[in-house]
Structure 1
Amino acid sequence: MTNKHPAADTSDVPDRDELAAEYFEVLPYAPYPVQEEAMLAYFTGEQGVLVCAPTGTGKTMIAEAAVYEALRTGTRMYYTTPLIALTDQKLDELRESAVRWGFSPDQVGLVTGNRRVNPDAPVLVVVAEILLNRLLNTEAFDFADVSSVVMDEFHSFNDRERGVVWELTLGLLPAHIRTLLLSATVGNAMEFTSWLTRAHNRRLQLVVGTERKVPLQYSWVDDELLPEFCEKIADGDEIDRRTPALMFCFSRSQCWTTAELLKGKSVIDKIRQAELADYLHAADMSEGAGPKLKQILMRGVGVHHAGVLPRYRRMVEELFQRKLLAFCVCTETLAAGINLPARSVVLPSLMKGPRDKKKLCEIASAQQIFGRAGRPQFDAVGYVYALAHEDDVKINRWREKYDSIPEDTKDPGLMKAKKQLKKKMPKRRTDETYWTAAQFEQLQSADSANLESRGRLPWRLLAYLFGKDPNVQPIRDMIGRRLLTPKGIEEGQRDLNRMLITLWSAGYVELEPKPHAAELPPPPPTNKEKKAAKTAGLFGELLDQMRVDEPKSEPKPEEDNRDPKLIESRGYEVENYRPDSATPTERLERLVHIRSINPLFGVYLADQLAIADPNERIAALESVLEVPGTVARFCRMPSYDDMPAGTLATTRLDGQLLTLGLATSEELGAKKDEDEDIVDRGFGRVMFEEKVWPLTIGEKILRMFRNDFPRVHDVNVRPVWIVGELMEFGGDFNKYVTARKLQKEEGILFRHCLRMILLLDEMANIPPIESTVETWEDPLDELADRLTETCRKIDAQSTDEMLNQPGSEIDDLIELGRRNK
């Protein structure tokens, strides 16, 4: 397509006033007041704008002002999102806009860690980590001609794991680049802009919007059960019905259960059902959850969550966008990801969490969910419905019937009916968690969350920075500029010291000056000492004497209540320690290669696995990929009888764990006489010890790691046998999930396999000293190839997007979105 605005001709480049006028002329519809204010602020401001407005305000139109500017002036710009799913959507949206403005769609590209589309395009949609990576590699990426950076969903700054990405990016952006930060409403927007000015000399105009273009109407439904309610709001013509609707559940299993409740209910008309049937009959949904999902889809209901395979999720998205589905039952992650335009949002519950630990949905998440209701181009109002618990609905219905019979009635029939009703009065269950209309109102009116710095600097980032410059002061200055209280900054500086000491003690850096020992204060009195003090005196002595002959139980270790920050440093001073430099050793580079997991644990794992047998390697690597507990319990490691301890365990780990007192013989697989009981001789009772579960290979390595790295507290493993058993099934994914009855979680298992492939590739890049190419890289590559072949058969598009994109950026990416802390 011919560019109607040849930016290469500098004489044709307009000034900002002219740009603003041009952009307003090409808008598809008149902007809402907050949109107009934000766009004018962007075109007239020197350094950018922070836009805080509710979900559904139309912030994309504001963001596209920066895109239009870059295309029109021949400069470059980055459009960042927190999620890969959002990058795909934004790529399509911006390409459509570029064509509408008269530019080629090829002038908009995409770069994520694993996928590239027109990577040299002037407008690039990227995940946030990519932009940070390029800012850390300015020798490879030139920012001189970059005019702006848009950061969408900027409230991700508050994310405990990934918020540091946005924070560091803001600090590293060159001064000439204007920023357009788009966020849901935040509680401390003014304070945040002041912090940006103070900490990073970046002065942003603040534009705050409180009204949505499509206002929301909230309804508490306490007199209808979910199936009949859904049928009711789906009834009527295009104008009267309240669908399409997103129905949010707070667990994957609840999504399936809720979708099944609509079985037999009429929620779509015959015309749409016929079109839906034609689509589904032509689709291949013969394996895994496909047949079950197909039945649900035929009713006009979709299911969308991480347990659904990506190719099925794409089908649900397409059908919903074509208005062929009345309901999409989904988890809350969809609220911050793919934009499925809906007239209504339905919440069957306001509580989330395990059955015995349910709590009210977080305010920020709830408001994000509410904001998905109402489509600016189609709806005058967005509807948000919260349904009462079915027990409360039944109680309300009973009370209505009961109260309809007067207490003073003399009618024998009515008196008998009232008596019968009283006997059948429904009640709340003691083991159930309920929610109320007041809590629903609380979620609507609660103040928005404040933005603040969260999480520590990632280990991998430290390794990368010290690889470029051993000077510690710039990193200390970076911590001093974080959006924290003075106390929080002090703790951040101490935490940096702990990280430095950890890297030094593991041989990754040489610190100057070296850490010095600290004098630990004496521990406070133990519980036993406190009790002894209370019983001091004559009566205490008598009591102590009486206890001499009491039966002795196994002593419990006393809690050490000293400051854990001092204890974890293993005697090194962290409070006033100020090293000047952290010079990398040859080992440091190994940390930079590990992106998927904590790099310290990744390198430690590789060194241990050098002598492991194939099953041990698979089991150990799988255990660090954090499979959800709801899935992991169905994918447990085989018992010692079915899979005896391997080479690594028997020749190294078991002996070390016993010698160091880190595990008992029973935890290492030693069998105890089942007939041997423990007799409490004082009372003649038979005592039974709690069952001891033998440690898996991953758990053994973790215990050794925690012993060697006492200052690293956030590494965990969850033993599973997924890839291992899949290979036992010859790589036949459908046979595996069917045998394990895990069809409803196959998306989780598929993602686990993809992550395993990426981890195998990373581990292959850090060969241990005890290995060779033939013993280390070749087996890992062979397993990765077999897994890749399996994944392509499951979902070729998602597999290729994840694994097969050309380019070296994946090898360099400082991916902070993992748990690399």
Structure 2
Amino acid sequence: MSDLPSRDELATRYLDALPYPPYPVQEEALLQYFTAQQGVLVCAPTGTGKTLIAEAALFEALHTRTVAYYTTPLIALTEQKFTEMQDAAERWGFSRDDVGLVTGNRRVNPDATILVVVAEILLNRLLHTEAFDFSCVSAVVMDEFHNFADPERGMVWELTLGMLPPHIRVLLLSATVGNAFEFCQWLRHSHNRSIELVQGTERKVPLSYQWVGDELLNEQIEKMADGDDTKRYTPALVFAFNRDVCWSIAEQLKGKTLLADGQQKRLAVELDRFDFSQGAGPKLKQLLFRGVGVHHAGILPKYRRIVEDLFQKKLLSVCVCTETLSAGINLPARSVVLPTLLKGPPGDMKLIEPSTAHQIFGRAGRPQFDNQGYVFALAHEDDVKHLRWKVKYDQIPEDTKDPNLLRAKKDLKRKMPTRRQGEQYWQESHFLQLQKAPAGKLTSRGSLPWRLLTYLLDASPDVDPLRNLVGKRLLDSAKQVQGQKQLDRMLMTLWAAGYVTLEPPPPPRQSPAEVAAAKAAEPAVAKQTETERLMSAALAQLAKSKSPAAVATVKAEAKPVEVVNEYKAHKAFPTPEMKRLLGIRSINPLYAVYLVNQLGIADRNERIQAFESVLEMPGTAARLARVPFYDDMPPGPLATQRLDMEIVQMGLATVQQLGAPLTPEEKEEQRSLPYEQRLKIYSFAEKLRLLFDAQFPDVHTLYTTPAWAVGEVLEFGGQFNKYITARGLQKQEGVFFRHFLRMILLLKELSSLHPPELTLTEWQTELGDLASQLTECCRQVDPESTDKTLEDADKAGL
């Protein structure tokens, strides 16, 4: 007889171990989890203690000597949950080493019983079951599961759910969603997984909503921080939707009286423990000393951890943050403040999504400290000024005969504040709209990843299971059809590039004469089907990729194929070339191989530009790391000897757009045009993308952004802080640090391939030298994070 406790016994033990009685929704969820065979979906508002529910699965795994995964969508959230789960394990009498962490940048105790991972790590392991054993895994917790509907992250959740072995129980923890029952039905029907549903609508700490139309932000925060602890509305989270705005708000607040008696002395002691001498450190230290924290992706990880620690110790009155923090990072606050309800680029801002708003609202109210949470939304400062003016204006009676009052009223009328032309505004009705908006629905988002498609085809050439996979997605019928068509386009792209052979073979490309004869014989066929058009284009582009000399001939011969029947492949057999795609994990594999094939004759600056462009640097940071103009960094051999020639021959751009010098008359003409009408000059990375899109017109989910950050920091001798300070990038230094770490990982990954013009040794030497320089650069900033990134890459075989 087994000496392991039963699930009933474990449920009793876990409930007895709780430090306080569970809320009704927590108790129901726990009882359901310990009796469910395949799992539970818990939908409840933010702030209802879902972590306590999650810990039950980990408690069970530790006591039954099985493995449990705890997944989150964000690295920052994963690292926080790692610490929380270590504390829980220790509280239950186990070792902190029984909990491990695996992210793209860090790996701690990777063979532990409890593994806290980002969602992509779990999916990657499910794609490589030959290397990772799931027979001993008992549970998978998916925190912040409403990310299932996220266009970028959602596909990871969906594929993971579909690929989990049936013996593994799932615990899905989500904010309130609008179609929870339908989702459970879909999961049962499409993936044969029956899960129980637990829904809660009540918060332990209720929320109070207040529209603030007569106070500016500084005044409101200072008022909230006034009084003793029972009267103060702090600690508060102030949400901004732009990293620069976070810093701007924090600077406004640092001169205000925000701290209670004794807080500043305690802060001084805490701050003296850390080195704030580099980058944004001096500025951040000043803010922290006044009780104001800043938290966003532009802050270095080591500084973010300090802000989190101080806020959790209740030493900060305010933390100014982006909405990323609302995704579950534990900064317990009494209040949240929204200085704006709009998000987006200037002139095209939109009201924030209700799901985002609900997440932000839910950060208010600490169950262990507060009886109520407070949500404040502020009016635009122009509207505040107008309201104040109106109060003064209305105090003077309209029928007054007093000449002094008449003069004052006339003077006020002349000074009436008005809204600015081109400025976007919000109002109280928008705030009410967000409060009352129904919860978002869980639905399939995003596209089938290229890496997954190549992996599945490498495992089996049968296409029908892939069609079934696409057919199981949580989509309406029209989008299901689109998904199937996209699968066909992906298969045709792989075939045209030589990565697979298809059965039955695609119809042969017809000559112009044959096309004309077919048209005469079938006059009713007036339109080529989508798949046939794509197939013909793919064939033409494959031929185009061979040599510049063949371009003109191929363009003349590549005519649309008129065929009555829609072509569909039933099998896709990988060619030897497919192996080159399978080793690429971090970026689009088709583009990775394309880049490597091109870069054999490139110089170092060209290679750096190509690599940087695929790292998805945020636009706000990329604008600060623009690629130098041609006068400052002339085109290299790949551009001049190959790319420019092919682009012009294919009619994709003019020589002037590729950087050819303009005549004085042309320059003058360009200056006279509005900026948006001026000649587009393509950077090197844009040239690469231009050719790739022409050769692979149907490759989706590919994002490239020209940037010159790695190149420039190396021009500074690899001195990170010197580069950051000289370029004024302190407010974004965390983004650049992460960019450099990602570059190191990409270089290690691409070193498994090599261009046809170079040997593998030559290519690896070049990439290894670049990676070494960047590694030393990053070690200056955060040696711990850098070394763990390299350790993780080495263990992953990169």
Shift of 1:245: 0.8
Structure 1 residues 377, 392: closer, same or farther in 2, change over 3 A?
Answer: same
Structure 1 residues 188, 289: closer, same or farther in 2, change over 3 A?
Answer: same
Q: Counterparts of 2:45 and 2:258 in 1: how far apart (Å)?
A: 30
Structure 1 residues 608, 575: closer, same or farther in 2, change over 3 A?
Answer: farther
CA contact under 8 A between 1:45 and 1:205: conserved in structure 2? yes
Shift of 1:57: 0.6
Q: Which residue type is aligned with residue 743 of structure 2?
A: M
Alignment of 1:452-601 (within 5 A): 452-516=443-507, 567-569=533-535, 570=537, 571=560, 576-601=566-591
- Which residue pairs with 2:260 in the alignment? 269
Shift of 1:40: 0.8
Structure 1 residues 124, 807: closer, same or farther in 2, change over 3 A?
Answer: farther
Shift of 1:633: 2.4
- Which residue pairs with 1:733 in the alignment? 720
Shift of 1:316: 1.1
Q: CA-to-partner distance for each residue in 1:59-88, whole Å, 9 max, x for gaps?
A: 011111111111222222221111222222
Q: CA-to-partner distance for each residue in 1:751-775, whole Å, 9 max, x for gaps?
A: 1111111111111111122211343
Shift of 1:519: 11
Which of residues 286, 291, 304 in structure 1 aligns to 2:295?
Answer: 304
- Which residue pairs with 1:660 in the alignment? 650
- Which residue pairs with 1:622 in the alignment? 612
- Which residue pairs with 1:173 in the alignment? 164
Task: Report SS of the residue matched to 1:578.
Answer: coil
CA contact under 8 A between 1:494 and 1:574: conserved in structure 2? no
Q: Which residue type is aligned with residue 440 of structure 2?
A: A
How large is the Cα RMSD of the aligned pairs? 2.3
Shift of 1:105: 2.2
Shift of 1:516: 2.7
Q: CA-to-partner distance for each residue in 1:456-502, whole Å, 9 max, x for gaps?
A: 11001111111221121211111111111122111111111100000
Q: Tell me, which stretches of 5 or more residues in structure 1 are unaligned?
A: 1-9, 521-560, 680-685, 812-821
Greater shift after overlay, 303-312 or 500-509? 303-312
Q: Counterparts of 1:582 and 1:100 in 2: how far apart (Å)?
A: 53
CA contact under 8 A between 1:16 and 1:43: conserved in structure 2? yes
- Which residue pairs with 1:718 in the alignment? 705
CA contact under 8 A between 1:341 and 1:374: conserved in structure 2? yes
Q: CA-to-partner distance for each residue in 1:594-616, whole Å, 9 max, x for gaps?
A: 22321111110110001101111
Q: Counterparts of 1:105 and 1:634 in 2: how far apart (Å)?
A: 42
Structure 1 residues 786, 279: closer, same or farther in 2, change over 3 A?
Answer: same
Structure 1 residues 352, 566: closer, same or farther in 2, change over 3 A?
Answer: farther
Shift of 1:563: 8.3
- Which residue pairs with 2:351 in the alignment? 360
Q: Counterparts of 1:779 and 1:174 in 2: how far apart (Å)?
A: 42
Structure 1 residues 327, 694: closer, same or farther in 2, change over 3 A?
Answer: same
- Which residue pairs with 1:5 in the alignment? none
Greater shift after overlay, 84-93 or 221-230? 84-93
Greater shift after overlay, 693-702 or 343-352? 693-702
CA contact under 8 A between 2:753 and 2:760: conserved in structure 1? no
CA contact under 8 A between 1:702 and 1:716: conserved in structure 2? no
Greater shift after overlay, 376-385 or 126-135? 126-135
Shift of 1:224: 0.8
Which of residues 425, 428, 431 in structure 2 aligns to 1:434?
Answer: 425
Q: Counterparts of 2:46 and 2:79 in 1: how far apart (Å)?
A: 19
Q: Counterparts of 1:402 and 1:161 in 2: how far apart (Å)?
A: 51
Write out the 4+ residue segments of structure 1 that deviate beyond 6 Å after TM superposition: 517-520, 561-566, 572-575, 686-689
Q: CA-to-partner distance for each residue in 1:579-598, whole Å, 9 max, x for gaps?
A: 22211111112112222321
Shift of 1:290: 1.5
Q: Counterparts of 1:80 and 1:688 in 2: how far apart (Å)?
A: 49
Shift of 1:282: 4.1
Shift of 1:144: 2.6
Alignment of 1:157-556 (within 5 A): 157-516=148-507
- Which residue pairs with 2:555 in the alignment? none
Q: CA-to-partner distance for each residue in 1:705-751, whole Å, 9 max, x for gaps?
A: 11111112543432221111111110111221222122211111111
- Which residue pairs with 1:535 in the alignment? none
- Which residue pairs with 2:782 in the alignment? 795
2:747 is the alignment partner of 1:760: yes
Q: Which residue type is aligned with residue 432 of structure 1?
A: E
CA contact under 8 A between 2:254 and 2:292: conserved in structure 1? no
Task: Report SS of the residue matched to 2:21.
Answer: coil
CA contact under 8 A between 1:81 and 1:151: conserved in structure 2? yes
Structure 1 residues 374, 467: closer, same or farther in 2, change over 3 A?
Answer: same
- Which residue pairs with 2:554 in the alignment? none
Shift of 1:508: 0.7
Q: Which residue type is aligned with residue 804 of structure 1?
A: E
TM, length-normalised to structure 1: 0.88
Q: Tell me, which stretches of 5 or more residues in structure 2 are unaligned?
A: 512-526, 538-559
Q: CA-to-partner distance for each residue in 1:657-711, whole Å, 9 max, x for gaps?
A: 22222221112222222136999xxxxxx99995434322211111111111111
Q: Counterparts of 1:133 and 1:634 in 2: how far apart (Å)?
A: 33
Q: Which residue type is aligned with residue 724 of structure 2?
A: V
Task: Report SS of the residue matched to 1:134.
Answer: helix
Q: CA-to-partner distance for each residue in 1:596-648, whole Å, 9 max, x for gaps?
A: 32111111011000110111111121122222222222322222222211111
Which of residues 627, 630, 641 in structure 2 aligns to 1:651?
Answer: 641
- Which residue pairs with 1:21 in the alignment? 12
- Which residue pairs with 1:35 in the alignment? 26
Greater shift after overlay, 246-255 or 257-266? 257-266
Q: Counterparts of 1:804 and 1:687 in 2: how far apart (Å)?
A: 53
- Which residue pairs with 2:522 in the alignment? none
Q: Counterparts of 1:479 and 1:258 in 2: how far apart (Å)?
A: 46
Q: Counterparts of 2:534 and 2:569 in 1: how far apart (Å)?
A: 19
Task: Report SS of the residue matched to 2:665.
Answer: coil
CA contact under 8 A between 2:745 and 2:793: conserved in structure 1? no
Q: Which residue type is aligned with residue 666 of structure 1?
A: Q
Q: Counterparts of 2:6 and 2:509 in 1: how far apart (Å)?
A: 62
Q: CA-to-partner distance for each residue in 1:144-201, whole Å, 9 max, x for gaps?
A: 3322211111111111122111111211222222211110011111110010111111
Structure 1 residues 575, 146: closer, same or farther in 2, change over 3 A?
Answer: farther
Q: Counterparts of 2:364 and 2:696 in 1: how far apart (Å)?
A: 48
- Which residue pairs with 1:549 in the alignment? none
Q: Which residue type is aligned with residue 160 of structure 1?
A: P
Task: Report SS of the residue matched to 1:805.
Answer: helix
Structure 1 residues 220, 563: closer, same or farther in 2, change over 3 A?
Answer: farther
Q: Counterparts of 1:361 and 1:753 in 2: how far apart (Å)?
A: 31
Q: Which residue type is aligned with residue 784 of structure 1?
A: A
Greater shift after overlay, 624-633 or 585-594? 624-633
2:720 is the alignment partner of 1:703: no
Structure 1 residues 203, 562: closer, same or farther in 2, change over 3 A?
Answer: same
Structure 1 residues 696, 186: closer, same or farther in 2, change over 3 A?
Answer: same
Q: Which has the higher contact order (CA 8 A, sep 6+)?
A: 1
Q: Counterparts of 2:187 and 2:237 in 1: how far apart (Å)?
A: 37
CA contact under 8 A between 2:254 and 2:291: conserved in structure 1? no
Task: Report SS of the residue matched to 2:347.
Answer: helix
CA contact under 8 A between 1:677 and 1:687: conserved in structure 2? no
Q: Counterparts of 1:212 and 1:430 in 2: how far apart (Å)?
A: 42
Task: Report SS of the residue matched to 1:284.
Answer: coil
Q: Counterparts of 1:286 and 1:591 in 2: how far apart (Å)?
A: 44
2:764 is the alignment partner of 1:777: yes
Shift of 1:574: 12
Shift of 1:45: 1.9
Q: Which residue type is aligned with residue 33 of structure 2?
A: Y
